[in-house]
A and B are shown apart, each in its own frame.
Chain A
Amino acid sequence: MRQIRIHGRGGQGVVTAAEMLARAGFLAGHEVQAIPSFGSERTGAPVVAYCRFADAPLRTREPVLAPDVVLVQDPTLLAAGRVFAGLAPGGLVIVDTAGDEREVRAAAHAQDLDATVLTVPATAITLRLLGKPKPAAAMLAAYAASADDVTLDAVLQVVRERFPGAVGEANAAAAEEAFAFVREERAAAAEVRDA
């Protein structure tokens, strides 16, 4: 089973991101589940949503406590704390920021966290292409670029289904750019490792 937790703020499309990720996972052949956790629904308030992929039907209704993957849609949540709570050792973290891994770890006081930490300027990309700070599609594409259980094509299909017309195309363009960004980031990291 793959468990993913998405952190963001009300208005950023956190719940939509989890639902779209579930749809993309389903297209890839997984059994899927997306669970939002709602506080009082206020714009800007921290929001968490969960997504699970598995080979067998998912029965549990427990929130994801030990995620394999944490997606953070807003870097200001890093300091507020606990976005990496329960992260599985060697897990994957993707943060929507123009900063780098070192800055993310410093902000979260997680210098020693046993995790692959990737960054992608998803909100910046989406603001440029869509004109709105809704980084969900770009973040899911960043995940597709760093995991083997969801494809970029699936993300693009889901995004276009969810947002028909120009909004969907702009989101899809943001997704493609974020995907390419993370692939380059990973290639560069691999070069450093292999050097």
Chain B
Amino acid sequence: MREVLEGSQAVARTVARCRPGVVCAYPISPQTHIVEALSVMARTGELGACEYVNVESEFSAMSVAIGASAAGSRAYTATASQGLLYMAEAVFNAAGMGLPIVMTVANRAIGAPINIWNDHSDAMALRDSGWLQLYAADNQEAADLHVIAFAVAEELGIPAMVCMDGFVLTHATDVLELPDADAVDAFLPPYLPTQVLDVEYPITIGTMAGPESFTETKYLQHLRFLDAAEVIDGWSRRFLEAFGREAGGLVARYDRDTCERSRDASAARAGDVTVVAMGSVLGTLQAALPALHDAGVPVRLVGVSSFRPFPAAALRAALGASRDIVVIDRALELGSGGVLTGDVGRALAGTRSRIHSVVAGLGGRPILEASLQDVVRRALDGTLGALDFLDLKTGGIPVPTAGATEVHR
């Protein structure tokens, strides 16, 4: 059934249909609406046989999720920004212990200066925490990705972050079709943990590993991560078969003419400028690029759906013979450029690609269609540099007027 829903509501309802055993919740903008909605469902009974645990911090949220998962329960939590950083130590532990927790990250900037708005700095700070990172391009995908994330995480024994842009998606209202409960039940196997804490048969997990075995432990974790690409692709294909729409996957391809998502879309060609992006800016690019295409500009769009594992092979395949690559990056590696650009560059090493890093939308700066079109034109005529800050204002730090709103950009 197509319905009008806020992104956070859509995620919460979909998570409930995945039948988590434990949800731990601590509020932080822009994630709060998700755990609020889940708490309402816990009260009404819609959450089923689930323990909803109010914790006193994000560190506790992840710690409770670890305990729940280790005890054999499907565990879920959600956070953002400073909250993700506050739980960082436990985030790494969850991955090291192979616990398939699913966590929504409502992507938000990190202070200082304090900023509650959207960019990808938070998840990027934990990109090597050993979690899968799956990015939603829109609210439909944000909801759908949770079903895929539980399936993938539990098959692999690797926890998964579902990253959705804070406010831009979490607080936006769209026409959506949620996976219905019966279909989710048919799709998502019950959680069968490979290791369970059991008082009858005591074991220790997350124990100490000394210099004699730490490298090997990490190597095995690395090998398991190498399996992840195929598992993500497999569950995403099954999702398409079961629900009739694309979600997840490794790389999102878009039709050359319409910019609509299509896994059958051809690879980019020599002479194409290809824009690579991640998250909700893909939607704005879908709206902005067809006009360029109609004007004869050879431009293609490729989305990175899985940032961890980074899908180097799938990205190279989608980029085809295109050698002019514009990466729209929502997080900054200080002194270097965009974070996503670094991974794209590594994937394209030896291809003689001209890679432009465009840092855009930091701390909630709206990303405008016209600005994106301008960047593509500059890439084509050779005036776009290796690093560009979209819509950068010069002359110091602008001070907002009293009562400023987004209209005052």
Contact = CB atoms under 8 A, between A and B. Distances in A.
Interface of A: 5, 7, 15, 18-19, 22-23, 26, 31-40, 45-48, 57-63, 65, 80, 82-83, 85-86
B156 interface: no
A80 B173 contact: no
Interface in B164-185: 165, 167-169, 171-175
Contacts, number: 87
Contacts of B241: none
A19 B172 CA distance: 8
Contacts of A47: 405
B351 interface: no
B407 A82 contact: yes
Given A22-B173, A46-B405, A63-B406, A36 B167 contact: yes
Interface stretch (B55-63, B98-106, B121-129, B284-292): B284-292
Given A37-B406, A38-B116, A47-B405, A61 B6 contact: no
Contacts of B175: 26, 31-33, 57
B172 A33 contact: yes
A122 B288 CA distance: 37
Interface in B117-147: 117, 138
Contacts of A45: 403
Most buried by A among B116, B173, B281: B173
User: Closest 6 CB pairs between A and B?
Assistant: A60-B287, A37-B406, A34-B173, A59-B286, A59-B283, A48-B405
Contacts of A83: 407
B85 interface: no
Interface in B365-383: 366-369
B284 A59 contact: yes
A4 to B, nearest CB: 13
A184 B360 CA distance: 48
B407 A62 contact: no
